[in-house]
A and B are shown apart, each in its own frame.
Chain A
Amino acid sequence: MQVNRLSHGGRINRARALSFTFNGRKYQGFEGDTLASALIANGVSLTARSFKYHRPRGIVGAGVEEPSTLVELMGNDASANRPVTTVPLKEGLIAKSVNCWPSPAVDIGAVNQLFARFIPAGFYYKTFKWPNWHVYEPSIRKATGLAGTPQEAPDQGHFEARYAHCDVLIAGAGPAGLLAALTVGRAGLRVMIADEGTEAGGSLLSRKLVIDGQPAMDWVAATVAELHDMPNVKHLQNATIWAYREHNYLMVNERAPENASLLERHWRVRAGHVITATGAIERGMVFGNNDRPGVMLASAVQTYVNRYGARPGKRAMIFTNNNSAYAVAADLAAAGIEIVAIVDSRDDVPEVARAVVPDLEVVAGSVVTQAQGLRRVRGVSVVPRSGGVSRTYSCDLLAHSGGWNPAVHLFSQSRSPLIYAEGPATFVPDTPAQSVSACGAAEGQFELSAALHSGAETAAELCEGPALTPPEGEDLAYAIEPLWRVEQATGKAFLDLQNDVSVDDVHLAIREGYANVEHVKRYTTGGMGIDQGKTGNINIIGTVALHQGIGMDEVGTTTFRAPYTPVSFGAIGGFRDESVVLPYRHTPLTKWNMDQGAFMYEAGARWRRPGYFPHPGEGLQEATNRECEAVRNGVGVYDGSPLGTFELKGRDVGKFLDYLYTNIMSSLKPGFGRYGLMLSDDGLILDDGVCLRLDEHRWIISTSTGHADAMNSHMEELLQTEFPDWNVFVTTVTSQWNNATICGPKARDVMVELGTDIDLSPEAFPFMTFRDGHVAGLPARVVRVSFTGELSFEVNVAPRHLRALWDKVLDAGSPHGILPVGSEASHVLRVEKGFLSLGHEVDGTVDPFDLGMGWVMSKKKADYLGKRSVHLRRDGPGVRRELVGVIPDPDRMIPEGAPLTPRGEKRPTEGFVTACVWSVVHKRWVGLALLENGHARHGETAQVRLKGGELIPVRVTPPVHYDPDGEKLRT
């Protein structure tokens, strides 16, 4: 039974009843209801328990400001900590109160109320210290946290994030926002207007006002219709602008997109100008037990009655310090609710206010000191401010208004300052820091006609021509005398209902030295809840100001931070999810590799690469050994496509490469290649690779896979900013040239078998040269480089041909037992040869001399990147760690990264093992290490020290474990 549903009125569809479940009981409401309005219509007043003391609580507000009743939604709607006032009712909705067990009516945690006296603000800083916090923590954690945690991702639908651009973004579709939109829309600007409510109208939805002689909502409907017909206007409802970033970049969360498969849409909007027409939020009065169910914000009571046809009580008291509550009283009375009296803290109540409720008792110059009743307000105690006897009024509803605060959150997030205005007794927008303006109630224009005027004028400043003549709105004049707290209050007077912060808590904080408003906020946790103190923060500031005898401006506000209201992480992420959460790159052979059952993993620069190609029953080690043996004894082939490749062209390429690399490149002859090393100007190793000279002016350079982008940036930066006069063009050709690298003693046989017009003899085609021609009938560039220490032919072709080449290579190599080779085997072959690897031996500290590559540091060149710094560092007192080979004795694997310490003692390290592999050549474990003064210690025994103190003696050797003279790769 909807016992408190008014017989008529409201913007609900009485023809469509909706069933829902709250705290296990079934109820009915109507389409158009929120969960809050439906509960009120059903007479449910005890809806929550408070966070700390578990006091009984009801519904306080009607929108995002709701500080009191948070619910957890279940099922596919699952969502935690939702203000009950922001949950649109839908058929089958299941909700329950947070923070109480088993229910708000029978709440075990209510026992906390007995101890309330001993747990003031910050009590936990003073106790729970012995023996340590961790002992108490689990039980305390259980008591906190509000709603339960989401258990799984939504099983239906997905999220979407997108970009948008507009000339003007308007936040809020109330009277000011709509009129602003109409103004700029008619002027032809590209407009976006977003409003957090289910329908446009803002405050007009809740109030019985008249515009141009018609019901205000008729004007809203006509305006929305006109905007809808403008192709240059995008109008979103159910869409909250929750963040205002730098350069007018704003975030919008759209909760009910028209596309049914979308759960929510995240808009990132770049706006030329922003108009905040976000309205205002009512603040409460601060008196004893101001948290009892049935104590509600006056504007919320008005909303329930006018917009939802729901009656929050039958006998109402009004408590106010401003005029707006008089209109509420009038609307309530018109709906048949008995108004017992209006308590007004002002001595002089303006005539215009009294005039709207001529028949009601107004108790001026008085305050409510306490609400009576426990699970429901039963009455209020009222005393004159000047002193005198307390009088009790019986009621079941107390509608209170402490005045209005512009919703300045977005404006403030834009880094624009706020200023305290004495007239409206609140903080209002000051000078904008970005291209933003505020209008309507968000600017402090609380009366309808003023709001309409400010909407039209603010918008007119953005377009040419005169402002629209705003329609005439009739409204009660606003006037207020601020009252930040009732001094005569008895009982707990709450400033922040959500976090149970009372006036006493704030006074205690100040007494203990936590006097800055930021200290007050942190010590008491006031304003730190999910509602971020939308109704209470200014009363905290007022309480601090009163206690310290300073002005509101001196106290100042705390920072407004995004989000304005909580927003789901799913929406922020959009559908960048699952397989696309990070980029991935394929070569033309990736699919083939996967079809072969290769163990794939991510290598540098997001390439998906094969680690090894296991046969059935094989693990990493067996497969890797097999692949290594193929290369050392027969032939193998690997896909080297991801290597970064650049074509350089111009007269000054040689000069440029001489600056970039440590060795001399400019002397290279066409047809030849040369290995080189690049340093940063700090003298740290950046990258290595091979340069090929195609002809007088054209070169190809290769970089390591992982550093290709960084090298591109590095080269372009130097050329554009340091050497703009040099004639060098850089073009990335990584994906123009893919390659299959055939390596092993039989590599030449395979090349012959493939068929080529290139003379493959060592004399005609020596190591570190390249030839253009055809291989297996495909146009190819063949390069004789080697990253394995074996005879190698790197056959480069266009990617469109790579798969065909690969098949032919495998065919041609099959008589020799050719195997595809993965990254693991490449690593082993490299370590056997002592070739450096960027992720292993180059860890950001070594220089070429440390690696035994002093030969690559040209002495002839006066300058190149890193030269000065390498020598400066080597002149310093530091002991160098130098690359050595290590042979574990006895033979065993050493974990990569294991430290070496002097004599194996538990003391600072003298190096670490950079790599350790099973050598198929030596049939034992061999490794590489960086060791202090390592070059002078060949032949010594050093000690690897593992966690726990286990020692592994290792013989220190030169770093090349295989073919130290490099005869194989030159054959």
Chain B
Amino acid sequence: MMNIPCPFCGPRNESEFSFGGPLKPDRPDPNATDDEQWVGWLTEVPNPHGPVQEKWWHVKGCGTWFTIWRDTRSHDIVEGPLDAG
């Protein structure tokens, strides 16, 4: 049970949040992208053995969507939504 820093509520139990997946690159213009690029964008997500930027939704709290950098090896949150950088 992680302790996730919500930018509005402060740290809360992971069970208050809903996982939104790793942050992907911006959605390409589907009318200006070839098939391979489109499929790559759709199906491939960052999967690092280390810090990953990912989305969380504070569904049981204030309802904010935000991102954190979490180390997939340890669950350590290496950068919260309000951290600089």
Contact = CB atoms under 8 A, between A and B. Distances in A.
B53 to A, nearest CB: 12
Contact of B74 (A163, A246, A862): A246
Helix, strand, loop or mixed for chain A's interface?
helix
Report the contact-size class of chain A (Cβ under 8 Å from the partner). Answer: 20 to 34
Report the contact-size class of chain B (Cβ under 8 Å from the partner). Answer: 20 to 34
B1 A872 contact: no
B57 A863 contact: no
B3 A270 contact: yes
A864 to B, nearest CB: 9
A773 to B, nearest CB: 33
B75 A717 contact: no
Contacts of B76: 246
B1 A717 contact: no
A713 interface: yes
A863 B65 contact: no
A722 B57 CA distance: 14
Contacts of A722: 27
A720 interface: yes
A968 interface: no
Contacts of B77: 247
Contact of B1 (A249, A713, A721, A862): A249
A51 B3 CA distance: 43
Contacts of A246: 1-2, 74-76
Contacts of B38: 868-869, 872
A682 B27 CA distance: 12
Interface string B51-85: 00001010100011100000000111100000000
Interface string A148-164: 00000000000000010
Contact of A716 (B31, B39, B63): B63
B76 to A, nearest CB: 8
Contacts of A863: 29-31
Given A268-B1, A717-B57, A872-B39, A867 B75 contact: no
Interface in B6-31: 13, 18, 20, 27, 29-31
Contact of B64 (A245, A415, A713, A720): A720
Given A247-B3, A717-B65, A720-B65, A682 B74 contact: no
Nearest to A251: B1
A681 interface: yes
B35 interface: yes
Given A713-B59, A717-B55, A872-B35, A433 B74 contact: yes
B57 A869 contact: no
Interface in A740-772: none
Contact of B57 (A268, A433, A713, A862): A713
A201 B76 CA distance: 35
Nearest to B4: A247
B31 to A, nearest CB: 6
B36 to A, nearest CB: 11
A721 B30 CA distance: 18
Given A868-B30, A872-B38, A247 B1 contact: yes
Interface in A514-528: none
A29 to B, nearest CB: 41
A65 to B, nearest CB: 29
A153 to B, nearest CB: 26
Given A713-B18, A717-B20, A862-B31, A245 B1 contact: yes
Contacts of B39: 872
Contacts of B42: 681-682, 869
Contacts of A247: 1-3, 75, 77
Nearest to A270: B3
A926 B37 CA distance: 44
Contacts of B64: 720
A872 B29 CA distance: 15
A867 B30 contact: yes
A720 B38 CA distance: 23
Given A246-B74, A247-B1, A713-B57, 18 more contacts: A163-B13, A247-B2, A247-B75, A249-B1, A249-B2, A268-B1, A682-B42, A713-B59, A716-B57, A716-B65, A717-B55, A717-B57, A722-B27, A868-B30, A868-B31, A868-B38, A872-B38, A872-B39
Interface of A: 163, 245-249, 268, 270, 415, 433, 681-682, 709, 713, 716-717, 720-722, 862-863, 867-869, 872
20 contacts: A245-B1, A246-B1, A246-B2, A247-B1, A247-B3, A247-B75, A248-B3, A268-B1, A415-B74, A681-B27, A682-B42, A716-B57, A716-B65, A717-B55, A721-B55, A721-B65, A863-B29, A868-B31, A868-B33, A869-B42
Interface of B: 1-3, 13, 18, 20, 27, 29-31, 33, 35, 38-39, 42, 55, 57, 59, 63-65, 74-77
The 6 closest A-B pairs by CB, nearest first: A868-B30, A246-B75, A720-B65, A247-B3, A249-B1, A247-B2
